[in-house]
């Protein structure tokens, strides 16, 4: 700036003169600058038609070809065409986030636009897409009101204004699958999920802000209480409840008079730059945050459900959802096949035709039993207070029955297709499905008149029954919805009763960790008392936990807490407090199986030992195949089997391996588990599967048979390594040596030994599954002779 004043002159005079001069020069400079800027902006705006914020005036247009869009003032959001399928769609996305994140789509169920269309705020004031042929498609239905301008706001809202700057249309009023901070979901609006992550067509799941005040997630085709899989329990708050989302990334409900009636997610501890809440294609409503750091991804702040099988109908007809390592997998019952193997969530169909009627001859079908799978039972007939086998029998004889669901003494007879199947280990339900017979020769039945007549009678009758049932079902559904609404509980909704303790509570409970019960691979165990002195518990203080953060820890705890089986030690609670990680278990006062087998003066008799073996096998089978999240124990050994006061064996320490391992694949060098019980694949690069537990079980089975440790020093050399000695005795047909002076039938010992030898095979795939092991132990299937093995010749 021009200001070289003469310092010797009085300040005031100089100042006025100077000001005059300066102002003239300034004005000229500004004029030139202004003209330059004007020119520049003209050049810029033709080169890059992306007006910031400022109103978009009638006549403005965008085209998919030149990649133009309208930006919000800060540049965070853009409105325009984005590539989709083999064309383009109109929508809003985060422009400052590398990973393309679309938050709104116009006419999402329409096919993509070709590249020669134009998006236009017409001079009449309509927002339309105009085709090359001049046909218009309305993007913003403003009824008879006309827009004088439009704007892409920094909130992510695209709005149309009238002449008096009133908002006549905004995308915030027509959400697709996402809401943004400051956006509100008013009743009866809803968010509908995408079909998939790459296809924004309306998918299967909705989250609805209901007029009764409840925010509910449903399967889109069946919005009733039976298919609700998540809700806020605010059905008494009445009409006018809205879902709100503030700039701190908190989701909450306000009632009609503006009071906060429920916080859905907690206020974030660290404020992030961007938030969105989306009902994802998998049916889970998630709150995401982003730091706007280009290298970052969206991270999940909150989600409506952890169990990915919870969304009702994730899997198609006749298939059921099974969690495998917390990922949902759609599976077909046996006798059924995927409709499309490449798209497993499309459902399954029977792979052979079944004539569901039994006649005097041999039936053309088998009844397959499926354990722990729950279906949405739209039964045409329900029989109550009935035994499981009677249920199977009922369905077997009923021509209309294609499947039956047995649960708590109720037998529901169903027709195909079965819907909304999910596997849930805690429910104890059994389904029976009629499937094509596996027998080679199927008897051809001649069409006989009597069968023909009876089948006509049968179907007429069933039609009447069905019609009546239809009315009843409809009624009962309405009733049920009311009832459930009143009770505020739906079977599908998670109910986790794990208690979270503070460190101080547990310090008090254990009397400052005085009474040590033992030390294990994962930490030290103390005796403690909770519930005001009413309940004795075992408290395990974990050491060496790989700290993946509180959320992961809690998820692990939840997975463990959800296991309920009579042969598993029950987890009652946990503590995640500072650096302290403690687990609270039921107390097992009779010590471990190791004490029982190796220390006790009194030897447990053969029958008792077999009972223990069956208990343990049942527990491991549950961990591997029946519980919601498959659990590999990784450390099966007598020290980890505890005995309760009724003499039941229960497995302890399951589910912990994951907490102590950085990942499923071993990237560490130390070997978990205890030397001698560990399967050979721990030492190689083979993946760790459930078969490692089968191996350890096999070694432990030898110990239980022989009541001695796997390796012992003070015995003849050929007997030192138990597995080798067992194998030698088996080969030499001298099995009675193994049980010393006990009177046990040879065939019983042989069965146990053979099962053990199969389990201890080097090759993981040669080892049987725990299910097979159970069947073999129980004598339900024969045990073939195990093959000769190198590892039994040399020392393991």
Cis before 137? omega within 30: no
106 binds ligand NAG (CB under 6 A): no
Kindly state whether residue 163 participates in binding ligand NAG, applying the rule CB under 6 A: yes
Q: In this structure, are residues 423 and 337 in contact, taking their beta carbons and an 8 Å threshold? A: no
User: Taking a C-beta distance cutoff of 8 angstroms, is the pair 298, 101 a contact?
Assistant: yes
Between 260 and 476, CB nearer to ligand NAG: 260
Quick one: DSSP state of residue 634? Answer: S
Nearer of residues 153 and 613 to ligand NAG, judged by Cβ: 153
Question: Can you tell me the distance from the alpha carbon of 79 to that of 92, in angstroms, rounded to the nearest whole number?
Answer: 5
DSSP-assigned beta bridge partners for residue 288 = 276, 300
| Residue 151 near ligand NAG by CB under 6 A | yes
Q: How far is the CB of 309 from ligand NAG (least distance, A)?
A: 19
Q: Identify which of residues 402 and 703 has a Cβ nearer to ligand NAG in the complex.
A: 402
Q: Which of 278, 304, 400, 640 binds ligand NAG (CB under 6 A)?
A: 278
Kindly state whether residue 66 participates in binding ligand NAG, applying the rule CB under 6 A: yes
Q: Is 459 in the site for ligand NAG (CB under 6 A)?
A: no
Secondary structure of 377-407 in HEC code, one letter for each residue? CCCCEEECCCCHHHHHHHHHHCCCCCEEEEE
Cβ atoms of 58 and 147 closer than 8 Å: yes
Write each residue from 607 to 636 as x if it is in contact with ligand NAG (CB under 6 A), else as -, in one continuous string.
------------------------------
Catalytic position from the list 177, 378, 398, 635: 635
Minimum CB–partner distance for residue 65 and ligand NAG (Å): 7
Name, in order, each residue with C-beta under 8 angstroms of 148's C-beta and a sequence gap of 6 or more. 58, 125, 161, 162, 163
- Work out which of 115, 118, 590, 689 binds ligand NAG, going by CB under 6 A: 118
- Per the annotation, does 540 bind a ligand? yes
Residue of 137, 195, 427, 458 interacting with ligand NAG (CB under 6 A):
195
Nearer to ligand NAG, 197 or 450 (CB): 197
Selected from 38, 42, 138, 465, the binder of ligand NAG by CB under 6 A is 138
The tokens of 421 are what? 């199947």
Written as one string, the DSSP assignment of 470-509 is HHHHHHHHHHHHHHHHHHT--TTS----PEEE-HHHHHHH
Does 295 contact ligand NAG by CB under 6 A? yes
CB of 427 to ligand NAG, least distance (A): 24
Q: Of 46-54, 587-595, 597-605, 616-624, which segment contacts ligand NAG by CB under 6 A?
A: 46-54
Name the segment binding ligand NAG (CB under 6 A); options: 28-36, 49-57, 376-384, 403-411: 49-57
Question: Given the complex with ligand NAG, which of 54 and 459 has the nearer CB atom?
Answer: 54
Token pair of 46 as six digits: 């033709």
For ligand NAG, which stretch binds (CB under 6 A), given 277-285, 549-557, 601-609, 776-784? 277-285
Q: Should residue 141 be labelled a site residue for ligand NAG when binding is judged by CB under 6 A? A: yes
> Do 142 and 160 contact (CB within 8 A), yes or no?
yes
By the rule CB under 6 A, 247 interacts with ligand NAG: no
Distance of CA 529 to the CA centre of its chain: 34
For 473, counting Cβ atoms within 10 Å of its Cβ (0-12 exposed, 13-18 middle, 19+ buried), the class is middle
Token pair listed for 372: 């722990």
Q: Which stretch binds ligand NAG (CB under 6 A): 159-167, 402-410, 419-427, 465-473?
A: 159-167
Q: Which of 70, 79, 81, 84 binds ligand NAG (CB under 6 A)?
A: 84
**Residue span binding ligand NAG (CB under 6 A) among the ranges 18-26, 181-189, 262-270, 707-715:** 262-270
Q: Which two tokens stand for residue 383?
A: 């029989």
667 makes contact with ligand NAG (CB under 6 A) = no
Q: Which is nearer to ligand NAG, 61 or 766 (CB)?
A: 61
Residue nearest to ligand NAG (CB): 166
Q: Does 342 bind ligand NAG (CB under 6 A)?
A: no
Rounded to the nearest whole angstrom, what is the least distance from the CB of residue 181 to ligand NAG in the complex? 14
3-state secondary structure 220-282: CCECCCCCCCEECCCCCCCCCCEEEECCCCCEEEECCCCCEEEECCCCCCCCCCEEEEEECCC
Token pair listed for 369? 């039993």
For the question of residue 728 being annotated catalytic, the response is no
Helices (H), 510-566: 550-561
x-or-dash string of contact with ligand NAG, 717-756, rule CB under 6 A: ----------------------------------------
Beta bridge partners of 215: 209
User: Total residues at the site for ligand NAG (CB under 6 A)?
Assistant: 58
Residue from 190, 200, 633, 767 that binds ligand NAG (CB under 6 A)? 200
Interaction of residue 409 with ligand NAG, rule CB under 6 A: no
Residue from 69, 97, 177, 183 in contact with ligand NAG (CB under 6 A): 177
Query: Within 13 Å of residue 643, how many CA atoms lie on the same side as its CB?
Result: 20
Q: Which of 26, 61, 426, 630 binds ligand NAG (CB under 6 A)?
A: 61
CA distance 335 to 331: 12
- Give the integer Cα–Cα distance in Å for 194 and 176: 9
- Report in angstroms how near the CB of residue 616 gets to ligand NAG at its nearest: 31
CB 230 within 8 A of CB 217: yes
Q: How far is Cα of residue 95 from the mean position of the Cα atoms in its chain? A: 30
- Cβ proximity to ligand NAG: between 232 and 510 the closer is 232
Beta carbon nearer to ligand NAG, 135 or 260: 260
Radius of gyration for the alpha carbons in the chain, expressed in angstroms and rounded: 35
Beta strands 499-501 and 571-577 are parallel
Q: Between residues 90 and 151, which has the closer beta carbon with respect to ligand NAG?
A: 151
The only residue of 14, 115, 155, 162 in contact with ligand NAG, by rule CB under 6 A: 162
Torsion 96-99-100-101 (CA) sign: negative
Structure tokens at 334: 């046996």
Spatial distance between the Cα atoms of 665 and 667, rounded to a whole number of angstroms: 6
* Residue 256 Cβ vs ligand NAG, minimum distance, rounded to whole Å: 4
Site for ligand NAG contains 795 (CB under 6 A)? no
**SS3 assignment for 57-114:** CCCCEECCCCCCEEECCCCCEEEEEEEECCEEEEEEEECCCCCCCEEEECCCCCCCEC
Under rule CB under 6 A, residue 339 binds ligand NAG: no
Rounded to the nearest 10 degrees, the angle between the axes of helix 770-778 and helix 606-621 is: 150
Interface region with ligand NAG, contact rule CB under 6 A, candidates 65-73, 555-563, 716-724, 761-769: 65-73
Residue 193 CB, nearest distance to ligand NAG (Å)?
7
Contacting residue, 71, 208, 281, 330, with ligand NAG by CB under 6 A: 281
Mapping DSSP to helix (H, G, I), strand (E, B) and coil, where does residue 681 land?
helix
Whole-number Å distance between alpha carbons of 531 and 499:
11
User: 754 — phi, psi (to 5°)?
Assistant: -65, -40
- Binding test (CB under 6 A) with ligand NAG, winner from 17, 30, 85, 362: 85
Q: Which is nearer to ligand NAG, 141 or 512 (by Cβ)? A: 141
**The one segment of 18-26, 260-268, 447-455, 503-511 that binds ligand NAG by CB under 6 A:** 260-268
| Active-site amino acid positions | 635
User: Which residues contact ligand NAG (rule: CB under 6 A)?
Assistant: 49, 53-54, 61-63, 66, 68, 73, 84-85, 100, 102, 118, 138, 141, 143, 151, 153, 162-164, 166-168, 177, 194-195, 197-201, 238, 250, 252, 255-257, 259-263, 267, 278, 280-281, 291, 293, 295-297, 334-335, 337, 351-352
Q: Which residues are annotated as a binding site for ATP?
A: 540
């Amino acid at each position: 700036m021009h200001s070289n004043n003469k310092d010797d002159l009085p300040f005031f005079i100089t100042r006025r003169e100077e000001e005059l001069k300066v102002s003239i020069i300034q004005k000229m400079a500004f004029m030139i600058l202004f003209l330059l800027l004007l020119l520049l902006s003209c050049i810029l705006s033709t080169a890059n038609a992306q007006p910031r914020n400022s109103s978009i005036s009638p006549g403005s247009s965008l085209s998919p070809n030149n990649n133009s869009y309208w930006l919000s003032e800060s540049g965070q959001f853009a409105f325009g065409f984005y590539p989709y399928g083999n064309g383009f769609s109109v929508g809003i996305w985060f422009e400052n986030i590398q990973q393309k994140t679309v938050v709104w789509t116009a006419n999402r169920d329409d096919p993509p636009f070709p590249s020669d269309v134009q998006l236009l705020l017409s001079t009449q004031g309509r927002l339309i897409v105009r085709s090359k042929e001049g046909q218009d498609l309305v993007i913003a239905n403003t009824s008879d009101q006309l827009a004088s301008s439009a704007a892409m706001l920094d909130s992510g809202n695209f709005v149309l204004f009238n002449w008096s700057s009133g908002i006549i249309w905004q995308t915030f009023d027509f959400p697709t699958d996402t809401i943004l901070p400051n956006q509100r979901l008013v009743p009866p609006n809803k968010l509908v999920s995408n079909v998939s992550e790459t296809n924004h067509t309306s998918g299967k799941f909705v989250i609805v802000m209901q007029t009764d005040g409840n925010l509910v997630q449903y399967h889109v085709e069946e919005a009733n209480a039976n298919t609700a899989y998540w809700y806020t329990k605010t059905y008494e708050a009445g009409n006018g409840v809205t879902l709100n989302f503030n700039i701190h990334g908190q989701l909450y409900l306000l009632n009609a008079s503006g009071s906060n009636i429920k916080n859905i997610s907690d206020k974030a501890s660290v404020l992030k730059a961007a938030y969105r809440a989306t009902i994802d294609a998998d049916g889970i409503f998630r709150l995401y945050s982003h730091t706007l750091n280009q290298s970052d991804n969206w991270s999940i702040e909150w989600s409506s459900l952890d169990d990915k099988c919870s969304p009702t109908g994730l899997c198609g007809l006749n298939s059921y959802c099974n969690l495998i390592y917390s990922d949902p997998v759609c599976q077909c019952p046996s006798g059924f096949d995927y409709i499309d193997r490449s798209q497993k969530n499309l459902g399954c169909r029977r792979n052979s035709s079944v004539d569901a009627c039994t006649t005097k001859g041999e039936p053309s079908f088998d009844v397959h039993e499926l354990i722990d799978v729950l279906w949405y039972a739209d039964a045409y007939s329900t029989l109550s207070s009935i035994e499981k086998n009677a249920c199977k029998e009922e369905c077997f004889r009923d021509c209309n029955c294609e499947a039956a669901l047995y649960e708590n003494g109720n037998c529901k007879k169903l027709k195909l297709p079965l819907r909304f199947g999910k596997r849930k280990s805690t429910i104890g339900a059994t389904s029976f499905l009629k499937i094509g017979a596996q027998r080679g020769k199927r008897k051809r039945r001649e069409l006989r008149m009597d069968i023909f007549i009876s089948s006509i009678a049968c179907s007429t009758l069933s039609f009447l029954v069905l019609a009546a049932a239809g009315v009843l079902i409809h009624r009962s559904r309405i009733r049920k919805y009311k009832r459930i609404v009143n009770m505020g509980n739906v079977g599908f909704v998670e109910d986790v009763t794990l208690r979270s303790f503070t460190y101080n509570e547990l310090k008090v409970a254990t009397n400052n960790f005085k009474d040590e019960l033992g030390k294990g691979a994962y930490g030290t165990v103390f005796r403690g008392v909770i519930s005001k002195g009413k309940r004795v518990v075992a408290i395990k203080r974990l050491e060496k936990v790989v700290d993946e953060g509180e959320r992961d820890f809690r998820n692990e705890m939840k997975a463990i807490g959800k296991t309920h089986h009579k042969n598993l030690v029950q987890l009652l609670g946990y503590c995640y407090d500072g650096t302290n990680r403690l687990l609270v278990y039921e107390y097992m006062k009779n010590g471990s199986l190791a004490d029982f087998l190796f220390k006790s003066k009194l030897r447990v008799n053969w029958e008792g030992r077999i009972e223990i073996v069956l208990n343990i096998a049942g527990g491991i089978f549950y961990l591997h195949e029946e519980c919601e999240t498959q659990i590999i124990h990784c450390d099966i050994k007598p020290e980890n089997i505890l005995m309760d006061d009724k003499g039941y064996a229960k497995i302890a320490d399951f589910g912990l391996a994951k907490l102590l391992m950085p990942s499923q694949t071993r990237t560490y060098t130390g070997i978990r588990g205890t030397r001698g019980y560990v399967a050979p694949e721990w030492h190689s690069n083979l993946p760790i599967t459930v078969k490692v537990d089968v191996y350890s079980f096999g070694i432990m089975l030898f110990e239980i048979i022989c009541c001695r440790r796997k390796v012992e020093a003070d015995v003849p050399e050929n007997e030192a390594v138990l597995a080798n000695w067992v194998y030698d005795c088996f080969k030499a047909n001298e099995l009675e040596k193994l049980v010393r002076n006990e009177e046990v039938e040879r065939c019983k010992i042989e069965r146990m030994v053979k099962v053990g030898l199969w389990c201890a095979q080097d090759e993981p795939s040669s080892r049987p599954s725990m299910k097979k092991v159970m069947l073999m132990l129980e004598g339900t299937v024969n045990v073939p002779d195990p093959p000769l093995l190198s590892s039994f010749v040399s020392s393991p």
